[in-house]
Amino acid sequence: MRRGRLGGRILEAALAIFGVAVIAFLLLPIVVIIPMSFNAAPVFEIIPSQLSVSQYQRLFASPEWLDVLWRSIRIAAIAMVVATTVGTLAALGIARLGWKARSFIEALLISPQIVPSIVIAAAAYYMFAMLGLVGSITGVVVMHALIALPFVVILVQSRLQSISPDFAQASASLGAGPLRTFALITLPQLRLALIGAGVLAFHVSFDEVVLALFLSGARTKTLPVKLWDSILFEVSPLLPAISALVILIPLVVIAPVMWLQRRARTNSEAGEA
């Protein structure tokens, strides 16, 4: 009996060490890139020997990098608006369907998430080549909106399901038309979900490489495409700083939204209790 307990404890400790080690392995890339970006020496050191912000200074003084950064932000912003609008319409429409039609249309709208990017990119490249859209910003924007769409549909839909239909019915019975009910009742309740969906859509576009690689041209490179080029074909001493920025921007944007949603959820749970 005693031996069994000791064995159990050793097993427990081994499991804990294993679990912590795996989580550390998953976090390794993030942990490594930040100190690298503050090093003036071009070699990798966990603790920089020449601590400096020179990489960042040079990065922000470099018009070519600022140019692509700005273009990526613009593309992501438009893709976000398109995906959020189309996705919200879709979620509202799906909610009104019967079970059978619903699962079919849902699967259709979510499928861009399942098909590998490379397949979508190759097919879109061919179509856009016919239409003369390869190398245009429009091509990248609409395809980014397409792959962000599933995220918006899933998020908005799950929020819609948790909203009680009573409010909308009350609004209708008081004589408000559907548009008015939507604007005054449904939309405010969806607000947080829409912000979350928008941020996620922005992030999907801002981060996307494969489609942008195929569809953007020499003059319409996005930040990840330029990053890809400089990682594979030239060695830029600024890479660590750019990488750190690309990693930090989404965190800075997403963290407050997640915090807001968490707070809202806790509040509503507290309110129901």
Partner 1 sequence: MKRSTLHTAALLALPLLFVLGLFVVPLVQAVGISFQLPDATTRHYQRLIDVPVYRTVFVKTLRVAAVTTLVCLVLGYPTAYFVARLGERARAIAITLVALPFMLSVLVRNYVWMTLLQDTGLVNRLLQSLGLVDAPLRLMYNELGVLIAMVNMLVPYVFFPVLTALLAIPPALKTASTSLGANRFHTFLRVTLPLTAAGTAAGCLLTFIVALGFYITPAMLGGPREMMISSLIAFNVREVLNWPFAFSLATTLLGSTIVLYLAYRALAPRGTVLKPV
Subset of residues 108 to 167 that bind partner 1, contact rule: CB under 8 A: 108-109, 111-127, 142-143, 145-147, 149, 151, 154, 158
The structure tokens 């509503």 sit at: 268
Which CB atom, from 77 or from 172, has the smaller least distance to partner 1? Answer: 172
Given a contact cutoff of 8 angstroms between Cβ atoms, the answer to whether 222 and 71 are in contact is yes
Q: Which helix (H) or strand (E) holds 206?
A: helix 187-207
Nearer to partner 1, 59 or 147 (CB): 147
Contacts of 157 (CB under 8 A, 6+ apart): 91, 94, 95, 106
Residues 6+ apart with CB under 8 A from 245: 59
* Interacting span for partner 1 (CB under 8 A) from 49-57, 69-77, 102-110, 167-175: 102-110
The DSSP output letter for 235 is -
Q: Is 227 in the site for partner 1 (CB under 8 A)?
A: yes
Considering beta carbons, is residue 65 or 151 the nearer one to partner 1? 151
3-class SS letters over 55-122:
HHHHHHCCHHHHHHHHHHHHHHHHHHHHHHHHHHHHHHHHHCCCHHHHHHHHHHHHHHHCCCHHHHHH
Query: Measured on CA atoms in the order 208, 209, 210, 215, is the torsion positive or negative?
Result: positive
Looking only at residues 60 through 99 of this chain, which bind partner 1 when binding is defined by CB under 8 A?
86-87, 89-90, 92-94, 96-97
Residue 154 CB, nearest approach to partner 1 (Å): 6
Joined tokens for residue 247? 């990693």
Rule CB under 8 A: choose which of 68, 224, 236, 238 binds partner 1: 224
CB of 214 to partner 1, least distance (A): 7
Piece in contact with partner 1 (CB under 8 A), picked from 167-175, 183-191, 246-254, 265-273: 246-254
Cβ neighbours around 147 below 10 Å, total: 22
Which residue among 35, 48, 135, 250 contacts partner 1 (CB under 8 A)? 250
Q: Is 42 in the site for partner 1 (CB under 8 A)?
A: no
Stretch that binds partner 1, among 23-31, 58-66, 189-197, 263-271 (CB under 8 A): 23-31
Residue 175 engages partner 1 in binding (rule: CB under 8 A):
no
User: Is there binding between residue 231 and partner 1 (CB under 8 A)?
Assistant: yes
Looking at the Cβ atoms of 12 and 184, the one nearer to partner 1 is: 12
Concatenating the DSSP letter of every residue in 250-273 gives HHHHHHHHHHHHHHHHHHHHHHH-
Give yes or no for residue 56 binding partner 1 (CB under 8 A): no
Please count the residues of this chain forming the interface with partner 1, following the rule CB under 8 A: 79
